[in-house]
């Protein structure tokens, strides 16, 4: 083989390998494998709730500390706004979270962003998010810039791609229908409304399931292991606010201004515990980095971090999830600051 022939063979081999990788990636998109399609059903349920509101609305968005950590019926009663909790999981990319708001928010609405502290510092996609999104929202991947697509693919576990391809094969052979078929959208909504009205008689899993949502999208507490550990809520880290975060906030705040949607910032609820010291220099520095950044975007927080430090007994199964009582207490503490803005 001559040098020219070798180079041609090498280039053709690379092209063939790339083509195979692209085909495997595209074939696996949208293929659920247990238990991930449950998250798809949560999103269907939250979208159903979002589509039902008509008047001025407060949209809650963030990680699971927002999903578990708000009493939306109380918030609605005290503000006169309809309230929908769109929050999902800390691992979801910020642009995904913001896209969810863009789908539904209208002029005159408000958004409360109750982000976990680590979300400000994140500079890559989590493998969990890449895994989930390619299952139930692959359109998000195609909407990304080329640079972001490359970052996304870097975080995608290729064993998941192969698993999705096997599921696709199972769909062709019939095994998918027998074992892994997710509920149709219509059935998810039917079950959800039956649950709200007391007609649902099936099993309700204790965790991250669409049947644990109330009519606003809040998590309704069920039986689960109680967390009583320690956590510093990522405030002892020295990471700067990431460029990904800066870019996504810049785009979202621009969209909000253009569409007359108000953005309000909320600190997450934090459990009083030995690792959380708001007077520690590193903690103060982290809080300063966050508030400096949000101020540069023209956004201000409702209250201070210390206003939302709660007794550990008000926390549920993790350091970031409050109980129902904790969600009510957090909402009560937020309301005076919120009323100052609205008044």
Question: Tens digits of per-residue pLDDT, 183-239?
Answer: 889 999 999 999 999 999 988 876 778 999 999 999 986 667 789 999 999 999 999
Question: Tens digits of per-residue pLDDT, 116-142?
Answer: 999 999 999 999 899 889 888 999 999
Provide the CATH number for the domain around residue 334: 3.40.50.1110
Is there a domain that residue 133 lies in? no
Is there a domain that residue 88 lies in? yes
pLDDT band at 278 (very low <50, low <70, confident <90, very high): very high
CB proximity list for 20: less than 8 A, separation 6 or greater? none
Is there a domain that residue 181 lies in? no
Q: What is the mean pLDDT of the chain?
A: 91
| 329: its two tokens | 């207490």
| 343: its two tokens | 């008044």
Is there a domain that residue 327 lies in? yes
pLDDT band at 10 (very low <50, low <70, confident <90, very high): confident
Cβ 137 vs Cβ 99: under 8 Å:
no
Is there a domain that residue 52 lies in? yes
| 141: its two tokens | 């991947």
Is there a domain that residue 142 lies in? no
Is there a domain that residue 335 lies in? yes
Cβ 31 vs Cβ 168: under 8 Å:
yes
Is there a domain that residue 180 lies in? no
* Structural domain span for residue 299: 39-124+189-342
Beta pairing, strands 270-271 & 110-114: unpaired
Rounded distance between C-alpha atoms, residue 236 and residue 136, angstroms: 34
How many structural domains compose the chain?
Answer: 1
pTM, full prediction: 0.92
């Amino acid at each position: 083989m001559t040098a020219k022939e070798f180079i041609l063979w090498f280039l053709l081999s690379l092209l063939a390998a790339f083509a195979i990788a692209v085909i495997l990636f595209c074939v696996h998109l949208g293929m659920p494998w247990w238990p991930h399609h449950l998250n798809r059903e949560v999103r269907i349920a939250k979208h159903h709730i979002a589509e039902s509101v008509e008047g001025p609305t407060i949209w809650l968005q963030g990680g699971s500390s927002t999903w578990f950590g708000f009493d939306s019926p109380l918030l609605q009663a005290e503000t006169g706004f309809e309230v929908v909790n769109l929050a999902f999981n800390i691992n979801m990319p910020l642009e995904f979270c913001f896209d969810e708001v863009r789908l539904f928010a209208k002029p005159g609405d408000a958004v409360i962003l109750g982000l976990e502290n680590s979300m400000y510092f994140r500079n890559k996609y989590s493998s969990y998010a890449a895994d989930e999104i390619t299952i139930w929202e692959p359109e998000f991947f195609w909407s990304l810039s080329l640079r972001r697509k490359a970052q996304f693919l870097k975080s995608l576990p290729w064993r998941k791609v192969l698993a999705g391809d096997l599921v696709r094969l199972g769909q062709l052979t019939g095994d998918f229908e027998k074992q892994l078929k997710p509920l149709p959208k219509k059935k998810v909504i039917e079950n959800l409304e039956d649950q709200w009205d007391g007609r649902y008689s099936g099993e309700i899993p204790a965790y991250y399931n669409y049947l644990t949502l109330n009519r606003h999208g809040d998590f309704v507490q069920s039986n689960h292991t109680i967390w009583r550990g320690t956590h510093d809520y990522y405030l002892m880290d020295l990471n700067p606010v990431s460029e990904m975060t800066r870019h996504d906030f810049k785009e979202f705040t621009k969209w909000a201004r253009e569409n007359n949607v108000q953005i309000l910032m909320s600190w997450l609820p934090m459990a009083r515990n030995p690792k959380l010291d708001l007077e520690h220099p590193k903690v103060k520095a982290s809080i300063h980095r966050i508030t400096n950044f949000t101020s540069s975007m023209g956004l201000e927080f409702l209250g201070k971090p210390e206003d939302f430090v709660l007794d550990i007994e008000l926390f549920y199964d993790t350091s970031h999830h409050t109980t129902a009582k904790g969600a009510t207490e957090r909402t009560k503490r937020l309301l005076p600051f919120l009323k100052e803005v609205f008044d």
